[in-house]
Amino acid sequence: MAKAYESKWVQEIVDLQHEDGSWGFFHTLSQPTKKQPITTEQALRRLRILGQTASDEPVRRALEYTERCLSGESVIPDRAEVKPDWGLFVETMLSTWLKIFLPEHEQALATAACWTRIMEETFAAGSYDRNTYEKAYRDALRPKGKDVWYFKSFINFYPLMLLHNMLTPETEDRMLDFVISYPTGIYYITGKPLNILPEDFTSREASCYLAAMEILSDYKLAGSKLGFAVEWLKKQRDENGQWDMGAKVKDGIYFPLSDSWRKIEDRKRDCTERITKLLRKLEG
């Protein structure tokens, strides 16, 4: 019988976990059903947000499954795409989730080291150059075929999470400047540059903006680079020093944390918990 968890959200996810530790598809949400509404990646993201770690059984089982897929012992059931660097995308994706939960994981660190080499070479001259990036990408990862598809830009969730605690200070400084001003934001997360603040704090756009800040918050220089966003967040507190992002941010991913938002107090507590945790990192 499955272990009972205090959080109903954790329990719902655990009840859907397969025997092999997965939730079916890893990345692709193909024709979701009531029986299987989430992917392995979505389950890991949500469990992490809900406070689960590598020592918790459902995450441990999922990471063991991810290890088997990365080593080639198993294969993710997602339909293999025809782009030449699909295999590199899968390797980067699997490595990212292992490094998130297991920062010293050997195979994940090997992938992170390749991305570190790419960034160090890309920004060696002081600023981003697309041709330099693509050459460094090819030299480090050896993609099959001529086209770079999945990582035409490195500014997406996977490389940015892999590169935590990997870069020299000079490269991190240059890379963060480029990421924060990138016109289309962080792929998968935001669609606008991070140096433009959301107009409406009580919106899903603002919640996604927080998600982008959370990705960058583990970089050593993030606090100095995102000071303008820290000040913006502080101005959003109410008279009791709490934050309330409103009911529209309830997306089943970042919110809710509490079992229910029937009471406004629970919503405020969740919003305050998330933002306080972020500020603690950025001001730490």
Last residue of a domain, one of 47, 79, 111: 79
- Close Cβ partners of 280 (under 8 Å, ≥ 6 residues apart): none
In a domain, 282, yes or no: yes
In a domain, residue 53? The reply is: yes
Instruction: Give domain status of residue 105, yes or no.
Output: no
Has residue 207 got a pLDDT over 80? yes
* Percentage of the residues of the chain whose pLDDT score is greater than 70: 98
Query: Is the model more confident about 151 or about 28?
Result: 151
Task: Quickly tell me which residue has 């669609």 as its tokens.
Answer: 191
| Residue 138 placed within a domain | no
Give me the chain's average pLDDT, please: 94
Average pLDDT of the segment spanning 240-268: 97
Of the candidates 79, 111, 142, which is a domain's last residue?
A: 79
Q: Is residue 57 part of a domain?
A: yes
Residue span of the structural domain in which 238 resides: 181-284
Q: How many domains does the chain have?
A: 2
- Residue 239 scores a pLDDT above 90: yes
- 61-103 tens-digit pLDDT: 999 999 999 999 999 999 988 888 899 999 999 999 999 999 9
* Chain segment 99-145, per-residue pLDDT in tens: 999 999 999 999 999 999 999 999 999 999 999 999 999 999 887 76
Measuring CA to CA, how many Å separate 175 from each of 121, 133, 134, 248?
A: 11, 12, 15, 33
pLDDT higher than 60, residue 1: no
Q: Could you report the per-residue pLDDT of 59-72, keeping only the tens digit for each?
A: 999 999 999 999 99
Instruction: Specify the pLDDT at position 145.
Output: 67
Q: Residues 248, 252, 258, 260: is their CA dihedral positive or negative?
A: positive
pLDDT tens readout for residues 35-47: 789 999 999 999 9
* Residue 151 lies inside a defined structural domain of this protein: no
Domain annotation covers residue 149: no
Q: Is residue 199 part of a domain?
A: yes
**pLDDT above 60 (res 2):** no
Span 239-254, mean pLDDT? 97
Does residue 256 have a cis bond before it (omega within 30 degrees)? yes
